[in-house]
Chain A
Amino acid sequence: MAASTTETATKELNQRIGLTSDGSQFLTFNLGDEFYGVDILRVQEIKGYTAVTKIPNTPAHIKGVLNLRGTIVPIVELRTKFSLPTIEYTAFTVIIVVVVQDKVMGLVVDSVSDVLNIDAKDIQPPPKFGDKVDVTFINGIGKSGDKLVALLDIDRLLLDSAVKDSSKDLPVAPAA
């Protein structure tokens, strides 16, 4: 009988703790010289890089799948996804495990830096970089001290590329 009230209460609570995309805490990580951030509430865990199993006939940025305590988790290579050159994995290379609409996925990044508090007023809408850089997956640019952090829209980033079998993504060419 109290479902409607519970629902509103949950919604309020969610808003208060910032479960929506305007959450104020972000986990930041590096890709090359750039800083990126993801909503901390979407991060399930961070783990060191371990070898993955390649999935046949999937786009290049789908690195493969990993056994995460019995669950099969797909791993996305963010460098490839953002068309950055690939580099050798180091001891700092980590997998950020995130939850996207009930799906658990991993992101390979160069290294994680820290958790930043960014006020809503310090977040600006993504600038138009021009034609060269794709800003589809950027929610906004956050400022913390003198650092600029590109805040990722992981829903769009991961669901768009990983879950849907988009025909635009051509299969990986066989390694010659």
Chain B
Amino acid sequence: MSNDFAQFQDAFFEEAAEHLAVVEEGLLELERHPEDLDLLNKVFRSAHSIKGTAGMFGFNAVAQFTHKMETLLDLLRNGQKAVTPSIADLLLKSTDCLKTLIESVKTGAAVDEETVQRLTMDLASASAADSQPSGTSEKKKDGAPVPGRGITRTYSICWTPPDWLFQRGLDPLQIMKELRCLGNLTKVSLDVSRLPHLADIDPEQCYFSWELQLITEKDRQVIDSVFEFVREDSELSIELIETTSEPPTASISAIPTVESDGPKPIGQILVESGVVSTGVLDQALAQQKRVGEILVEQKAVTPQQLEQALQKQRQQESTAQAKKTDTASIRVDTAKIDKLINLVGELVITQSMLSDLGTRFEMNQLHVLLERVAQLERNTREIQERVMSIRMLPIGTAFSRFPRLVRDLSAKTGKKIQLVLSGEETELDKTVIESIGDPLTHLIRNSADHGLEPPEERLDNNKPELGTIRLNAFHEGGSICITVEDDGRGLNRTKILSKAVKQRLISENEKLTDEQIWSLIFKPGFSTADKITDVSGRGVGMDVVKRNLEALGGTVSIKTAPGKGTTFTLKLPLTLAIIEGMTVRIGRETYIVPLLSILESIQPTREAVKTVVGKGELINVRGTFLSMVRLYDVFNLQPEHTDPAKSILLILETEGERVAVMVDEILGQQQVVIKSMEQNFRKVEGIAGATILGDGTVGFILDVRGLLEIARREIAMAA
């Protein structure tokens, strides 16, 4: 939206997302404790907040829909209705719908109007069944809220500002200017009929009213928002007089309907008065055709024209979406910031003490100097930790969506499942939290579908009918561990093996360790499911888990016992901004290799190196041949040694591929802060980023993947 409210709107979306989460969480909880009034009140409050703010911003579709939900919630709260599973389900579905509605306001994406209509109706009938809905003014749903580009509309605007306009320092001229920014203000006429005699004039009162005509491509909402601050007490009418679209069929499903406090949809009235049932109405609604189809039937347009127009519409939608870029923001606990400010204060004191000492330094004060430097060190370290902690969020934010997921999975698979969460307060980097959601979703789906047995089978095996999935997060060393544990049947060794042989991932008489067998399930396309359900079985999920984790610099491991269950353990770095690195030297240059990708380092014998035409150099590491990359070759550096027998080979692994990289010397291991190269320069091939080394100079961090690509290209060129 191209007005000044953009920044407030962002705040609205953020807030709405939080409230939605509260609503969803509360509803799930309510299913289990239907009589918990506190919970119901909490849900109600959040829904009410969404309605209030949405209304304030003029997101009428959102406000109206939330209002419907609120009406039902209010009835539940007053005890006029009980929380039945069907009502809870309806409310949950409505929450989903509300989510898409808000999303559509944000991105301009189209909403499934039918679903909205149906749910609105369901909500209304659920509230209406045995008590009157409390004076709801149902508004007609607006057409698909696609602000069609290329469609110009002429609006007639009549505005009588409130008397107090000037008293509050508001300037009608600003509004005119704002309107002019929206389009072509063709007619502006001032009505002075209310102006009293000069003697009676109160100079602080506004006696004017305006009649305006605006030709614009923007829709009503945008115009409405111009009057945001003066709407109170204003007499304002905005009417659409004319719509012209450049290609006449471009907006077939985006016909702007003038919004008014008009009558209810006829269907709803019929249902309410008991003439038809919702089912009949739904059928009738399903028969309703879209404008485009009708036009085709009447031969007003050809199907080709329609298709073209629709395509145009989709394009407009997608460009509109592409324009919206998410500005990443983070909410920080004020206590964290206060602590940080304290620490900075201490740092300033230490610094002034040091400079004070520096101005009149004598050799016998050396111990004082060392003491102060030590203090400075302490300060710096603490500040570093605190600043890092600002990016840290409790993982609970990522966990919160899973209770709903498990509930739905339980319904879909017909298994009884409970989800036990623990360690939600464990903090980790915001970016990691954002990218961990997907892999966890796949793991939980997998556990629910494959891991847990159907209730009968569980009872047969003397297990409780209720299956349990545990999700736990905890710190371990410098990393964070997340475990997904189920008490299901465990991985089936023979089944995995036979499937792998069938899919030619391994040969029949290959000897594999348990770990190697378990890791087969992460291969793309691998699935032991006998049938493909809509939950899982396509063999995509686990592959995604592994790849996402590797992108984050993490690992995944499996523990399983037949009949007892399976545990997936994800190990992730606490933050993406700092990595553990190995510093290596080539000639006079220092490079940093991410420690996670190093398997081992060896000093090869001269005989171990072989040159193969078209494959470059290979190195024999205990019987396996790996391709060898001379780092100085790839980076055009001046090395100390060109003889592999005198250098060090690092065996690196990335995405399951191994490569030996030749360097002069290993200098040591240290934590490095990743700095962006792109910020002031551009991406350099083979380099993941830069860092500041101990002596203040810049060192580069190797991008193992990119390195492999360069090496491969060079071999191809040489061949």
Interface of A toward B, CB cutoff 8 Å: 1-5, 51-58, 64-67, 70-74, 103-105, 162-165, 171-175
The answer to whether the Cβ of B263 comes within 8 Å of any Cβ in the partner chain is no
Once bound together, how far apart are the Cα atoms of A27 and B4, in whole Å? 39
A174→B637 contact, CB < 8 A:
yes
Interface residues of B in 538-583 (CB under 8 A from A): none
**Contacting residues, chain A, for B690 (C-beta < 8 A):** 53, 65, 72
Say whether A72 contacts B676, CB under 8 Å: yes
Q: At the interface, yes or no: B513 with Cβ under 8 Å from chain A?
A: no
A-B contact pairs, 17 of them (CB 8 A): A1-B178, A53-B698, A53-B699, A55-B681, A56-B634, A56-B635, A56-B637, A65-B677, A65-B698, A71-B679, A72-B681, A74-B680, A74-B681, A171-B636, A172-B636, A174-B638, A175-B638
Q: Does B684 contact A (CB under 8 A)?
A: yes
Within 8 Å CB of B682, what residues of A?
162-165
Q: Which of B181, B636, B680 contacts A105 (CB 8 A)?
A: B680
**A67 engages B637 (CB within 8 Å):** no
| Cα distance A103–B638 in the bound complex, in angstroms | 30
| B97 within 8 A of partner (CB) | no
Which residues of B sit under 8 angstroms from A52, Cβ to Cβ?
A: 698
Question: Which B residues lie at the A interface, using CB under 8 A?
Answer: 4, 174, 177-178, 181, 229, 589, 634-638, 675-677, 679-687, 690, 692, 696-700
Chain A residue at smallest Cβ distance from B180: A4
CB-CB nearest in chain A for B632? A174
Q: Which residues of B contact A54 (CB under 8 A)?
A: 589
- What residues of A have a CB within 8 angstroms of the CB of B675 in the complex? 70-72
A115 to chain B, nearest CB (A): 25
Q: Given A67-B696, A67-B698 in contact, is the A53-B589 Cβ separation under 8 Å?
A: yes
Give CA–CA (A165, B697) in the complex, Å. 24
Q: A57-B685, A71-B680 are in contact. Are A3 and B4 (CB under 8 A)?
A: yes
Question: Which 5 pairs across A and B sit closest by C-beta, in order of nearness?
Answer: A56-B635, A53-B698, A74-B681, A174-B636, A72-B690
Contacts of A74 in B (CB 8 A): 680-681
Q: How distant is the Cα of A76 from the Cα of B634 in the complex, in angstroms?
A: 22
A102 CB to nearest B CB, Å = 9
CA distance A7 to B544 in the complex (A): 47
**Distance in Å from the Cβ of A99 to the closest Cβ of chain B?**
10
Contacts beyond the supplied A57-B686, A174-B638: 11 A-B pairs with Cβ under 8 Å:
A56-B634, A57-B636, A65-B698, A67-B696, A72-B680, A72-B698, A104-B680, A163-B681, A165-B682, A173-B636, A175-B638
| Cα–Cα distance between A65 and B634 once the two chains are bound (Å) | 19
Q: From residue A140, how far is it (CB to closest CB) to chain B in Å?
A: 27
Q: What residue of chain B has the Cβ atom nearest to residue A51's Cβ?
A: B697
A54 and B174 CA atoms in complex are apart in Å by: 55
In the complex, A4 Cα to B682 Cα: how many Å? 34
Give chain A residues whose Cβ lies under 8 Å from the Cβ of B679: 71-72, 103
A57 to B635, alpha carbons, bound, how many Å? 6
Cα A73 to Cα B692 with chains together (Å): 12
Residue of A51, A73, A164, A174 touching B680 (CB-CB under 8 A): A73
Tell whether, in the assembled complex, residue A56 and residue B636 are in contact, meaning their CB atoms are under 8 Å apart: yes
CB distance from B182 to the nearest CB of A (A): 11
User: Among the interface residues B634, B635, B686, which one has the most CB atoms of the partner chain A within 10 A?
Assistant: B635
Q: With a CB–CB cut-off of 8 A, which chain A residues contact B676?
A: 72
Which residues of A have CB within 8 Å of B697? 51, 53, 67
Closest to B631 in A: A56
Nearest CB on B from A172, distance (A):
6
Instruction: Provide the bound-state CA to CA distance between A5 and B676, in Å.
Output: 36
